Amino acid sequence: MDGKYLKKLKIYIVDDHKLFREGLKLLLSTQDFVQHIYEASNGKEFVENLSLSDCDVVLMDIEMPEMNGIEATEAALRLKPGLKIIVLSMYGDEQYYYKMVDAGVKGFVLKSSGIEKVITAIHTVAEGENYFSEELLMNILSNMRAGNKTEPEVPDNEISEREMEILYHVCLGLSNQEIADKLFISKRTVDKHRANLLSKTGCKNTAALVMYAIRNKMISV
Task: Output 76 or 212, whichever has higher pLDDT.
Answer: 76
CA angle at residue 97 from 101 to 1, to 5 degrees? 80
- 123-136 in b/e form (b: 16+ CB < 10 A) is bbbbeebbbbbeeb
Domain 149-215 belongs in CATH node 1.10.10.10: yes
User: Exposed/middle/buried for 92, CB within 10 Å: 0-12, 13-18, 19+?
Assistant: exposed
Residue type at 221 in one-letter notation: V
Which superfamily does 2-133 belong to? Response regulator (3.40.50.2300)
Q: Is the pLDDT assigned to residue 200 strictly greater than 70?
A: yes
Q: Is the pLDDT assigned to residue 128 strictly greater than 60?
A: yes
Coil, strand or helix at 66: coil
Instruction: Please report, for the chain, the start and end positions of each structural domain, with discontinuous segments joined by +.
Output: 2-133, 149-215
Is 126 within 8 Å of 7 (Cβ atoms)?
Answer: yes
Element (H, E) at 87: strand 84-89
Out of 66-80, 166-180, 205-219, least confident range: 205-219
First-residue to last-residue Cα distance in the chain: 27
Task: Output 91 or 39, whichever has higher pLDDT.
Answer: 39
Q: What is the DSSP letter of 152?
A: P
Task: Output 1 or 46, whichever has higher pLDDT.
Answer: 46
Give 156's pLDDT tier (boundaries 50, 70, 90).
low
> What is the pLDDT, as a whole number, of residue 3?
45
> What is the pLDDT, as a whole number, of residue 192?
94
Q: Is the pLDDT assigned to residue 52 strictly greater than 80?
A: yes
Instruction: Out of 19-28, 81-90, 120-129, 161-170, give the one with best mean pLDDT.
Output: 19-28
- 69-83 in b/e form (b: 16+ CB < 10 A) is bbbbbbbbbeeeeeb
Give 169's pLDDT tier (boundaries 50, 70, 90).
confident
Out of 50-64, 71-85, 199-213, least confident range: 199-213
Task: Note the pLDDT tens digit of each residue in 181-190.
Answer: 999 999 999 9
Out of 15-24, 37-46, 111-120, least confident range: 111-120
Q: Is the pLDDT assigned to residue 141 strictly greater than 80?
A: no
> What is the pLDDT, as a whole number, of residue 126?
93
Q: Is the pLDDT assigned to residue 152 strictly greater than 60?
A: no
Q: Is the pLDDT assigned to residue 197 strictly greater than 80?
A: yes
> What is the pLDDT, as a whole number, of residue 103?
86
Q: Look over the chain and give the mean of its residue pLDDT values, rounded to a whole number.
A: 85
Mean pLDDT of 192-211: 85
